Structure 1
Amino acid sequence: MHCLAALCSRLLMLNRCRPSHLQQDQIMLDIEKYKEIAGVAFTADARNSNAPQGSYYTDPEIHDLELKKVFGYEWNYFCHQSQVPNAGDYKTGEVGGHAVYVIRGKDGDIRAFYNVCQHRGHELLQDAQGNARVVVCPYHAWTYDAEGNLRGAPKMKEVEGFDRSKVKLCQVRCEIVGGFVFLNFSDDAPAFREMCPEFEPIITSMVAEVDKLQFVKQKNYDIKANWKIVTENFLEAYHVEFSGEAHQALGEIIDIETYRFNISGRTIEYTAGGGADDVLPYDKNAEDAFTNTKNAPFHQCFLFPHMTFSIFPGTNMMFVFNMRPNGPERTAEEIIYFTLDGSFSDPTETAEEYVSDSLNPEDISLVEAVHRGLKSKGYQPGRLMVDPEMKEAWGEQFVHHFNTLNLAALTR
């Protein structure tokens, strides 16, 4: 086993024996101790750091460690409450290697469960979404209610000592913030608002009516690149001017003179005024449907580890980029769109088409080429482009902060 894989194995063994917490005010990294993961040229100071080494993105051992230490401990976006509006409505999915579902109970609460029967382990719900008065296992018809209690099993009265009251589905921690449903697979992780206190104020400043948003549609993409590469691409604007027509149009969406950012804990916030109406790459709505309390027509919030919430000027929609790892060399990307009434106006439709059919395909081409390059023996990690005061919006300090958070989680 090479030294990098050996280090990952040692970290896994250490964390099985001695769990610990990553406190919000202690997101720190011992670069010297864990330089084998990121490479010797990745330093604690973004201003003199190179990018991480290629194996950080492609090594299967690191991917397995991330599933356990990052996606197994951090809060993961799953869906929006509007996608399960009625009692019995459910949505299934996979997060960090875990098959799960959320369901709304008769009491109106949304709960999350591992999507596995407590009898012999068969998958319970197989459709992506639907409505179920009870959840019935397709294998032996064990039946559960929306609270995860076993309601019945064939022949159970004929089995001596069988006590259905002791059989419950394994529940996943679930919190709703701003109408968005987040899941956590760790019993030790802090509550969402404790771990990510900055997120709720940001998301409500983006859309004051955020808890009233309605799901419109979702686009899915299979990207041949590691999830960190895809995430990094969304965090930096250094490439925007040079990466194709759709990205050059993205530059027209933003008034660069008012472009501001704020890095805080697990969030990175970007705000700006909107570009001139006559150069926008989509049609602009005549009226703004959102109460934008920060007066920032362009507004984005990255939430570690894999989510970006976005508002583009004049679109009357919020959309979420969600980057789920699908092995060390693939990413299952979702773009999820929301409006206040659950439908697109004609101008908003053109904005969605720009994001889904022009901008994102260019990004996919970029990140897949990066992934191929990082596997090359000819790659030597290059210098991160960061100005001395880390004030410029084009800088790659955002990429550095993301990787510092990820490395801190890996070495937690």
Structure 2
Amino acid sequence: MLNRCRPSHLQQDQIMLDIEKYKEIAGVAFTADARNSNAPQGSYYTDPEIHDLELKKVFGYEWNYFCHQSQVPNAGDYKTGEVGGHAVYVIRGKDGDIRAFYNVCQHRGHELLQDAQGNARVVVCPYHAWTYDAEGNLRGAPKMKEVEGFDRSKVKLCQVRCEIVGGFVFLNFSDDAPAFREMCPEFEPIITSMVAEVDKLQFVKQKNYDIKANWKIVTENFLEAYHVEFSGEAHQALGEIIDIETYRFNISGRTIEYTAGGGADDVLPYDKNAEDAFTNTKNAPFHQCFLFPHMTFSIFPGTNMMFVFNMRPNGPERTAEEIIYFTLDGSFSDPTETAEEYVSDSLNPEDISLVEAVHRGLKSKGYQPGRLMVDPEMKEAWGEQFVHHFNTLNLAALTR
């Protein structure tokens, strides 16, 4: 059973919003104070115009996770994908640096790399064989020497801003956005406290899910524990994996950090007393960090894995969810293998069922946004102040 936690320190940045604009988007009952706010209105999640605005002002301005440096370990290794409606790829150069580019040829717009990942000494367009190096320079263009005034040296791929923090590769599509560590100064200290040698993590596996729900609904579901006690066997087990009596949280800027001790041995779906590879101790804590707009980083007690939930919008009514697993040695311990199966095969399917049902409900003419469950001092870790903070950040981005 999910119990109340003892008080925890709350630090929340004051975010200025254009009140008229955000009430038009989120509804008049969503207020700046979480303690007397209702949930946002249904159209906030389902309106295609809001989705398009989010692609531009949220995913087009914030730092977006793309991959991990261990997924492109060698010169020429690349990984492709889509972020916020942009087809992109990252590639490691001969100098060891990882760079990101829009995945489009500068000749007539053909997609360059079509495999999800691989290794390429040079990047060759499949259409007319224009060829680029890992720094984005045009190295070959068949028969273009015959074209008067054509200067190959002036043709370069359009680069995407790319920063690596703790081994995680983040992309940004805005020339005006601050650098990652300036925009998200809280993230690196948190992620380093979770795994001291975080930059040595190795990619193990990734599982992908197509969810019939808006990305904000999926993200909100990860931010609050209010539903854990009531939402199915896997969630009730989660309430035992972590010791809710020791649950603590801290809201700061674009991050929300959660910590708790491990639960009782006899109710866990795996042995939490196995030695923790990150701390070299037993009974290691539950530790989780949310990073706006769309990521959570988690460590379960007694496992040697960090797993990342990445929620990418795929239109206003679908989310491409990725669960990405990392360890320090690139393999799972036996308890971790069992814990991964619990997350992927039990817990996440329950979550998907929940958020898809919420999305269907939000489209109903009969939905009237209800009051968020937030205690007067905003100290209860199972409250919905985290949902409110997330939407405040999102609305601040939409109305900036």
- Same-fold call, TM > 0.5? yes
Structure 2 Cα separation of the partners of residues 36 and 159 of structure 1 = 54
Determine if contact 1:219/1:335 at 8 Å carries over to the other structure: yes
Structure 1 Cα separation of the partners of residues 45 and 219 of structure 2 = 12
Query: Partner of 1:220: helix, strand, or coil?
Result: strand
Number of the residue aligned with 1:70: 58
Determine if contact 2:304/2:336 at 8 Å carries over to the other structure: yes
Query: Partner of 1:190: helix, strand, or coil?
Result: coil
Q: Give the aligned length.
A: 400
Q: CA 1:342 to 1:98, structure 2 compared with 1: closer, same or farther past 3 Å?
A: same
- CA shift, 1:157, in A, is 1.5
More relative contact order in 1 or in 2 (CA 8 Å, sep 6+)? 2
Q: CA 1:106 to 1:15, structure 2 compared with 1: closer, same or farther past 3 Å?
A: farther
Determine if contact 1:206/1:294 at 8 Å carries over to the other structure: no
Determine if contact 1:208/1:292 at 8 Å carries over to the other structure: no
Structure 2 Cα separation of the partners of residues 346 and 16 of structure 1 = 32
Q: CA 1:283 to 1:294, structure 2 compared with 1: closer, same or farther past 3 Å?
A: closer
Per-residue Cα deviation, 1:365-384 (whole angstroms, up to 9, x for no partner): 00000000000000000000
Q: CA 1:99 to 1:350, structure 2 compared with 1: closer, same or farther past 3 Å?
A: same
- CA shift, 1:282, in A, is 2.3
Determine if contact 1:285/1:347 at 8 Å carries over to the other structure: no
Q: CA 1:18 to 1:250, structure 2 compared with 1: closer, same or farther past 3 Å?
A: closer
Structure 1 Cα separation of the partners of residues 349 and 121 of structure 2 = 40
Number of the residue aligned with 2:338: 350
- CA shift, 1:305, in A, is 0.2
Number of the residue aligned with 2:303: 315
Per-residue Cα deviation, 1:44-92 (whole angstroms, up to 9, x for no partner): 0000000000000000000000000000000000000000000000000
Query: Partner of 1:15: helix, strand, or coil?
Result: coil
Structure 1 Cα separation of the partners of residues 164 and 8 of structure 2 = 25
Structure 2 Cα separation of the partners of residues 152 and 163 of structure 1 = 11
Structure 1 Cα separation of the partners of residues 279 and 376 of structure 2 = 36
Q: CA 1:141 to 1:302, structure 2 compared with 1: closer, same or farther past 3 Å?
A: same
Structure 1 Cα separation of the partners of residues 286 and 306 of structure 2 = 11
- CA shift, 1:28, in A, is 1.9
Query: Partner of 2:335: helix, strand, or coil?
Result: helix
Does 90-99 or 283-292 show the bigger shift? Answer: 283-292
- CA shift, 1:286, in A, is 2.3
Determine if contact 2:161/2:172 at 8 Å carries over to the other structure: yes
- CA shift, 1:291, in A, is 2.5
Q: CA 1:114 to 1:294, structure 2 compared with 1: closer, same or farther past 3 Å?
A: farther
Any unmatched runs of 5+ in structure 2?
none
Structure 1 ranges of 4+ moved more than 3 A: 13-26, 292-296
Does 251-260 or 164-173 show the bigger shift? Answer: 251-260
- TM-score normalised over the length of structure 1: 0.93
Determine if contact 1:259/1:271 at 8 Å carries over to the other structure: yes
Q: CA 1:292 to 1:119, structure 2 compared with 1: closer, same or farther past 3 Å?
A: farther
- CA shift, 1:319, in A, is 0.4
- CA shift, 1:156, in A, is 1.8
- TM-score normalised over the length of structure 2: 0.95
- CA shift, 1:205, in A, is 0.2
Q: CA 1:293 to 1:190, structure 2 compared with 1: closer, same or farther past 3 Å?
A: farther
Determine if contact 1:246/1:362 at 8 Å carries over to the other structure: yes
Any unmatched runs of 5+ in structure 1?
1-12
- CA shift, 1:258, in A, is 1.1
Determine if contact 2:6/2:246 at 8 Å carries over to the other structure: no
Number of the residue aligned with 2:211: 223
Determine if contact 1:103/1:111 at 8 Å carries over to the other structure: yes
Q: CA 1:301 to 1:294, structure 2 compared with 1: closer, same or farther past 3 Å?
A: farther
- CA shift, 1:276, in A, is 1.7
Q: CA 1:19 to 1:125, structure 2 compared with 1: closer, same or farther past 3 Å?
A: farther
Per-residue Cα deviation, 1:193-247 (whole angstroms, up to 9, x for no partner): 0000000000000000110000000000000000000000000000000000000
- CA shift, 1:32, in A, is 3.6
Q: CA 1:23 to 1:163, structure 2 compared with 1: closer, same or farther past 3 Å?
A: farther
Per-residue Cα deviation, 1:167-193 (whole angstroms, up to 9, x for no partner): 000000000000000000000000000
Q: CA 1:138 to 1:82, structure 2 compared with 1: closer, same or farther past 3 Å?
A: same
Determine if contact 2:3/2:245 at 8 Å carries over to the other structure: no
Determine if contact 1:72/1:96 at 8 Å carries over to the other structure: yes
- CA shift, 1:278, in A, is 2.0
- CA shift, 1:283, in A, is 3.7
Structure 2 Cα separation of the partners of residues 351 and 280 of structure 1 = 9
Per-residue Cα deviation, 1:14-62 (whole angstroms, up to 9, x for no partner): 9999999999966322334431100000000000000000000000000
Per-residue Cα deviation, 1:277-304 (whole angstroms, up to 9, x for no partner): 2211224462211038999610000000
Structure 2 Cα separation of the partners of residues 149 and 362 of structure 1 = 47
Determine if contact 2:211/2:318 at 8 Å carries over to the other structure: yes
Number of the residue aligned with 1:188: 176
Structure 1 Cα separation of the partners of residues 4 and 329 of structure 2 = 47
